[in-house]
Structure 1
Amino acid sequence: EGGSIPYILRTPEQLARYFDGLELLEPGVASCSRWRPDTEALGLPAEVHQYGGVARKS
């Protein structure tokens, strides 16, 4: 009715389960704003309520 796409909110701990069996890279499951290559030049970015992570298969 509203035309929006349904979505499910998950905690960082719930998201971390998607990476089971993989090598989770730093900073792990974290606020997406913390996934910047160089935070020192700009200072620590604000925390946002959107989380992500990057992992590699060994």
Structure 2
Amino acid sequence: MERVAIETGRMTPWVARSLHALGVTIVCVDARQAHQSLKAMKGNKTDPHDAAGLAQLTRTGF
């Protein structure tokens, strides 16, 4: 993994520190902002759609 996108949440600090210790670049996205963007991208909110949407947001420099 070169870069990982994660949404903010209770576990985010722990996950981010753990991934950073492994040398992975982390992109942390505010969950509220991501929700609005993902809702506009896809009408059907499921985990696979969220993952694809977060990957797209990361690639485009959200």
The two structures have a TM-score, normalised by structure 1, of 0.26
Larger Rg: 1
